[in-house]
Amino acid sequence: MTTSITYPRGAWLMDTQRIKVGQFMGAEGGLMYLRPPGGGKEWPVKPQHVRGATLHERQTAGITLEQEAEHREARRIFSVGPCLVQRKPDRGPSC
């Protein structure tokens, strides 16, 4: 039995093989692509070598408060079935 965890685009993740924090940019061909904080060239990583980055890891990587705010905004948007849903404080998701 395999478990599939999906991350929203923009989430800060830890590449446990390289011991490096990156921002999730997307997935293709069985690989996930992360970009270093502050921009730069994306690198591929196998999903089994990825987990959510802790606050301490994000701070150590030099992620700014502005980048953290962008991450929180990215987490508000998530995929549900065939439609893209944005949670709003005043009402629940709708398709």
Which residue in 59, 65, 53 sits closest to 23, CA to CA? 53
67 token code pair: 């980048």
The pLDDT tens digits for 11-31 are 999 999 999 999 999 999 999
Query: Is 15 strand, coil or helix?
Result: strand
pLDDT of residue 64: 80
Distance of alpha carbon 13 from alpha carbon 66, whole angstroms: 17
pTM for this predicted structure: 0.68
The pLDDT tens digits for 30-86 are 999 999 998 899 999 999 999 999 999 998 998 887 777 776 665 555 444 444 444
**DSSP H or E segment with residue 73:** helix 65-76
pLDDT of residue 50: 97
- The distance of Cα 3 from the centroid of its chain, to the nearest Å, equals 17
